[in-house]
Structure 1
Amino acid sequence: MGMRATYRYLSDKNLKELKSYYGIEDKIPEEIEDSHEEVELSLNIDKKWDVLHFMLTGGRRFEPIKNEPLSEAVVGEFSIDDASEFMAYTEKSKIKNIVFALDYFDMKKALEKFSMEECKTADLYPNIWDDEEEIDEIKEEIMDCFQCMKEFYHHILEANGNILITIC
């Protein structure tokens, strides 16, 4: 199995309920008008979340970089400490900056510098960095995940939604 990352649209109402459940201070108004309650948007980037976070930011797994949209895109803005698995959310006020950052990140250039050895040294998940023969396939998977993430965040921006991220 392994740790797979899933990203889901989260309405204001559902975000408020999530915060209430985990005892997180909520600044969302008491009365919420959710016009997108029926929106079902999700993305699964499987096991490439850690290498994607590393390539976008140089950051380590499960360590969101505060006020860094590319980090927030992968591992969220706020992590929920009491959850049984890694769970984080990003509020809709951050989505526009994330979309902008993803749109202007040059993944092709980043992949030109991609190194299996760097991934191994950084101890990135999953532990697949010994087989140099797989480098082209891995690069292609990373690019696919990146493109899907960009598209997903564009949809979330259009839906004016929040994001729930789980990695388990």
Structure 2
Amino acid sequence: MGMIWKGRALSAAEAARVRQNPESLREPVGGAGAPPAVVDLDKAWHGIHWLLTGSAWDGEGPLALAVLGGEQVDEGDGDTPRLLLDAANVAAVATALDAVGVDELRKRYDPHAMSEAEIYPNIWDDEAFDTDLAPGFELLKQLYTHAAARDCWVLQTIT
């Protein structure tokens, strides 16, 4: 299997329920809804974060929140906690992502540097950008555009 990133747009009411009682959303993040309200980046999540921020785990501004940002709501179903990003930050991320194009990310793609930084899943080659990262980035943009247009929050999980 591996570490899979999933994101789901939540209404303010759903987000409030999750914040009060994380057990209220026990189904897998991708269990309900359809794209763009639910997105599965599979194993491309860490590479996308790297391309957006230039960092393995940190970063500046709204782009750093797109994959690894938000309030921790529980310990999660795997090794990482679930993160809940509020509607204001979702809107900021959507705007920031809209300003980034695939061509810009392609210029940042450096398989050697990503391997050196141990960017998961550390299988970076010349084809990975077109087969995994660019499509995943487009899905991520769709999720945030969809969520921002509806004043939604975004729940992120890595399992």
TM, length-normalised to structure 2? 0.81
Structure 1 segments of 4+ aligned residues over 4 angstroms from their partners: none
Letter in 2 for 1:118: A
Cα deviation, 1:20-42, whole Å, max 9, x if unaligned, reads: 126xxxxxxxxxxxxxxx97620
Cα distance, 1:19 vs structure 2: 1.5
Please give the secondary structure, in 2, of the residue aligned with 1:123: coil
1:165 aligned residue (149, 152, 156): 156
Change (3 A) 1:88 1:123: same
Matches within 5 A, 1:91-130: 91-129=86-124
Measure, in 2, the Cα distance between the counterparts of 1:103 and 1:74.
15
Measure, in 1, the Cα distance between the counterparts of 2:13 and 2:91.
20
Measure, in 2, the Cα distance between the counterparts of 1:43 and 1:162.
14
Cα deviation, 1:42-66, whole Å, max 9, x if unaligned, reads: 00010000010011002224x5x4x
The answer to whether 1:77 aligns with 2:73 is: no
Alignment match, 1:54:
50
Gaps of 5+ in 2: 23-31
Alignment match, 1:147:
138
Please give the secondary structure, in 2, of the residue aligned with 1:2: coil
Measure, in 2, the Cα distance between the counterparts of 1:77 and 1:7.
12
Corresponding pairs, count: 145
Measure, in 1, the Cα distance between the counterparts of 2:122 and 2:112.
11
Gaps of 5+ in 1: 23-37
Measure, in 2, the Cα distance between the counterparts of 1:60 and 1:158.
29
Asked if the contact 1:9/1:39 (under 8 Å) is kept, the reply is: no
Measure, in 1, the Cα distance between the counterparts of 2:108 and 2:13.
42
Larger radius of gyration: 1
Measure, in 2, the Cα distance between the counterparts of 1:60 and 1:78.
19
- Of all paired residues, the percent bearing the same amino acid is 25
Asked if the contact 1:89/1:163 (under 8 Å) is kept, the reply is: yes
Measure, in 2, the Cα distance between the counterparts of 1:112 and 1:92.
30
